[in-house]
Amino acid sequence: MSEYLIFDHKQIISVTMILFAIIDIIGSIPVVIELRKKAGHIQSEKATLVSLILMILFLFLGTQLLNIIGLDVASFAIAGSFVIFFIAMEMILGVNFFKEEVPETVSIVPLAFPLIAGAGTMTTLLSLKSEYATQNILVGIVLNMIFVYFVLKNVVLLERLLGKSGLNILRKAFGVILLAIAIKLFRTNTG
């Protein structure tokens, strides 16, 4: 029983890396820059805090929400694997499957949701819950949100540092990682 209360460094690293690939804040820098140009300003603190709250709520209440609408975690995970698959294909091929709308409150929609804490992230959280201890997932979420906050605060500097080709390479590399995650999710939940 006490093993569930122990922080496992391997689990924390795995969860952090998986969420890092799913959230893909580095790959989203071009989108964040575009949102900033259209809105004039992005509230980094608000976007990070809303994303953190959404992810933690879904981690603890996601299964209950699915039960209310009559879905099991495996079905949601399989559906999510398709979403992750298409996100990965977007990143690898540079094709847009999902349309992005830019309302006035860009810090919340579409930045916090669905860009940072979107369907892929939520699906991944539920899937991680079946493989990793909750406290390790929470640490992974917090570490990612710290990194997201850092990126949002320094997006212009990062764009200059990485350059257009650097951003494209990172986006494609994380696309391949996401593709592998999507296939693993699908295989695990289809038995």
Q: What percent of the chain has pLDDT above 90? A: 32
pLDDT at 76: 76
pLDDT at 55 over 90: yes
Q: What is the pTM of this model?
A: 0.75
Q: Are 51 and 116 in contact (CB under 8 A)?
A: yes
C-alpha span between 71 and 76 (Å, rounded) = 7
pLDDT-derived band of residue 4, with 50, 70 and 90 as boundaries? low
Average pLDDT on 54-58 reads 95
Average pLDDT on 93-103 reads 64
Residue 162 CB contacts under 8 Å (≥ 6 apart), including other chains: 26, 29, 170
Taking alpha carbons only, the member of 140, 128, 139, 178 closest to residue 27 is: 178
Q: Tell me the domain boundaries of the chain.
A: 42-98+107-190
pLDDT digits (tens, 9 = 90+) for 24-34: 898 788 778 77
pLDDT-derived band of residue 94, with 50, 70 and 90 as boundaries? confident
Residue 42, phi then psi, degrees to nearest 5: -120, 130
Q: What percent of the chain has pLDDT above 70? A: 93
pLDDT at 1 over 60: no
